[in-house]
Every structure is written in structure tokens, then in C-alpha cells.
Amino acid sequence: MTTPIEKKYIASRSKSEEKFKSAQSLFPNGVTHDARMMSPFPYYISHSEGSKKWDIDGNEYVDYKSGHGSMLLGHAHPEIVKVVSETVAKGSLPGASTELEVAWGKAIQDLVSSAEKIRFTSSGTEADMMGMRIMRAYTGKNKIVKFEHHFHGWSDCASATGGSDDNWEYGVPQQILDTMIVIQPNDISILENLLNKDDDIAGVMLEPTGAHMGLHPIRQSFLKELRQLCTDRGLVLMFDEVVTGFRVAKGGAEEYMGVTPDISSWAKILGGGMPGGCVTGKAEFMDIIEKASGSKGIYHPGTFNANPISAAAGATALSIVKNSNVNEIAAKRGQKLVDGLNGVLSKLEIPGLAYGQDSLVHFKLGVDADSVEDIITMTKEEEAKAYDGSVHHQLGLSLLNQGVDTWSAARFIMMASHTEDDVNKTVSAMENAFIEARDQGSI
């Protein structure tokens, strides 16, 4: 049965509904990214600027999807628009090295202390693939340890879940899944016991602030223990900074958490809103890519590696990050949103907690939690009490009806372009969403 919230959504998006009907015959599930699947149908965006975006039906939204985390500076930042326009007019793909790729690389080194050398890719998934290849080539070992729920793109190796999600592993040969070991985070003894039994482990990779952009947080103390254990046992430690890079701090999570990895993958903010990724690291690890006379080196082509448009946008974006307070602004807005959301929960007596790493805000609903430590130590039984996807879906649709776009009311990715008025509107909309969901019996 169609809920009142869904009826409001449908009534104001007739053009999007029609567009989706035509898309269904073009794309699997009618979409081009799994995260864009939604019921009753997705909305279609016409343009975006600053903290806002507009759909083809004319609805305006305060945007917290933020280009999947790429748009720290906000949509259509004038300096990015200018440099992209100037660069594309000179040719988008010369098939040769350009000065822009050198400028982009130096912009990364200016911010990331561990970036002794850099290799560009076209996406975060590709960067993670390259990082895993480096770990195996450097050590001569086959297996890689990752942690439950941690996301590293959609490649065969990264899709391993330890059997907890058949959809993720569907289509991946078992031989590849056997090279990936998935364990729980925040308990170093699990990894220690594993290493005592298996000497074919090349390295460890993880999202340094926790799975799904910090939804499942990691203790800083665990990262430090992990760093020491990898050093002691000769394992390569890789940070996946695809989301956290240049966001949680100018120098990424390695600066924010005070722990230095051997190699890292980066994307999103790296490209200034254009496609792009890279692997950075200490020279002794990155040099495994080099092909010196008489030695092996990892083969790594890529038509769009460090293409001029992404290089120009990326170098410009990182220069803005370095020379302005965009990180601090986004973090301040994030804290204001956390405080406001927790105030709504308290006012309406709804169990849950808003929390996060500065500009990455998460909402865990339906659980008894007063702190991030409560989230970290939550048992599977306690986790099972959290509101399920259907509740979040109704809340997310209600927010869309009020002009606020989030990840189903579960995640808010802040941009420096978000204003205090944006946050105030969002908090009020969240309160209204809870009331609407209660009134229709969804919670």
C-alpha cells in the first residue's frame, strides 16, 4: 500500500516518473549506480550549485549526498568551472604527459605527508585494485586482510565479505575470494592469531575512520596497534582514503588519526568533482611499479589516468583545500547538524544517536546509544534493534518532500557551501519526518 509520504513524493515528480519509465528499458533496474535505486522511482537532477540541487520537476534540495562525497567545495565551484572550461578547450585527452599531471601530483604531496610517490587511476575502485596489487607484489604473498563492512570498491577482491553477503560476492570466483580474509575490527588479537596461523598474508587494508565512511567507527588506539603489528610482522598497511582524503583533515585520515600507512588510495575530493583516483605511498612500496632494467614492475596502463581535465580540476581543488578553511567550515556545519539531530531525538523520545567524523555525519536510529563508544561496542543483538531500511526509506522520502536530500536519513555528507540556514532547515525537516513517519505507522 502506498504511504502518505510516498503519495506526496509521487505527486510532485511527474517528469521524473516519466523519465524513469524510459530508463527502465535502458539500464538494469533503470539506474546507473546501485545507490540510486529507490522506490517508487528515482528523481532526476537538472542542475546543482553550492549546497543546492534542483530536479527536472523544479524541486529544490539542500544536498547531503554531495556527489557521493566528492564535493567538499560545493557544486559548480566557480574556480573549478573556470579551469575545467579552459582546459577542455585545449583538448581533453592528448595521449601524452602534461604539465597538469605534475601540478596535480605536487598538490597531493603538499598535503599528504606519506605521499613520497603517486600513481594516478581513473577511480577509487581502480586505486584500491592497484593498492592490493602493490601489497602482493611487494611481499610476494597472496592474501589480504580486510574488515567487516569496509568498502573498497566493486572489484572481485574487494567484493569479498567473508560470506556475509551473497550479492556482493555473486559472480566472483571462489579462488579469488579465498585470497581475501575478512575479520572484525577493533580487536588486534584477532589479527595476531590469524598471523600466527597463516604466513601467506601480504597486507591489511581498511577505511581508517571505520566502515562506510565511519558508520561503524574505529578506535584510534586500534589503528596504532594495527600500524605496529604490520611493522613488526612485515605486512603492508593500506588506508582507503577515497572518502576521508582531504576531508576529515587537509592531509586525510592519516593526519586526523595520527597514524601513517605504507600506501593509501584516494579519489572523490582528489578530482575536484571530476573522475580520478590515485595510490600514494612511501617510495619503497610505490617503486614496485617501476620497470628498471633487469627487474620486474607492475604493469599499469589506463587511458584516462591523470587526464588533463581531472588533473586541472584536482590541482585547483587541492590548492583551495590547502589555502582556505573549507575543512573547518564543513566540520563546523557537521557538528551543528549532529547537535541538532540529537536534540530532535531527545525531544521526540526516539532512541538513537547522531555522530561522525566532522563533515561525515551518521544517524543510527532505534538503538540505545549515548556515545561513539556505544556504537563501537554494540553487539549484533543490539544492532538488530536498529530501524531497518524501510523506516529509513520513509524518513528519506519525507526529507525529499521537504527539500532535503540525504542517504535515506542515515548519512549526511557536509560541504563547505552548506550554510547555517541549510542545517537549521534540515533539523526542522528531520523532526517533521519523524512525526510524519509516526503518524502513518512506519515507526
CA 268 – CA 321 distance, rounded (Å): 13
Residue 295 has pLDDT above 80, yes or no: no
| Shared-domain flag, residues 318 and 344 | no
Q: Say whether the peptide bond before residue 40 is cis (omega within 30 degrees of 0).
A: yes
Same domain, 39 and 105: no
- Boundary-marking domain end, from 323, 346, 373: 323
Q: Please check whether residues 299 and 412 belong to one and the same domain.
A: no
Domain that holds residue 222: 78-323
pLDDT at residue 213 is higher than 90: yes
Q: Could you tell me if 259 and 312 lie in one domain? A: yes
The residue among 323, 344, 360 that closes a domain is: 323
Torsion-angle region of 169 (φ positive above 0: left; ψ -120 to 50: alpha; else: beta): alpha
Q: Are residues 110 and 191 located together in one domain of the fold?
A: yes
| pTM, two decimal places | 0.95
pLDDT tens readout for residues 301-360: 999 999 999 999 999 999 999 999 999 999 999 999 999 999 999 999 999 999 998 899
**Could you tell me if 315 and 382 lie in one domain?**
no
3-state secondary structure of 24: coil
CATH value at residue 155: 3.40.640.10
Are both 203 and 348 inside the same structural domain? Answer: no
pLDDT of amino acid 164: 83
pLDDT over threshold 70, residue 293: no
Inform me whether the pLDDT recorded for 380 exceeds 80.
yes
| Residue 248 and residue 336 in one domain | no
In this structure, the answer to whether residues 176 and 255 fall within a common structural domain is yes
What are residue 265's phi and psi, to 5 degrees? -105, 145
pLDDT at 292 over 80: no
| 255 shares its domain with 139 | yes
pLDDT number for residue 385:
86
At 38 the three-state DSSP class reads: coil
Do the Cβ atoms of 160 and 196 come closer than 8 Å? no
Domain boundary among 293, 323, 353: 323
Number of domains in the chain: 2
Question: Sheet holding 277-281: strands in order across?
Answer: 117-121, 277-281, 263-266, 236-241, 201-206, 143-147, 180-183
| Average pLDDT, rounded, for the chain | 96
Kindly state whether residues 121 and 254 are assigned to the same domain. yes
CATH of the domain at 402: 3.90.1150.10
Answer yes or no: do 302 and 351 share one domain. no
Across 196-224, average pLDDT: 97
| pLDDT greater than 70 at residue 185 | yes
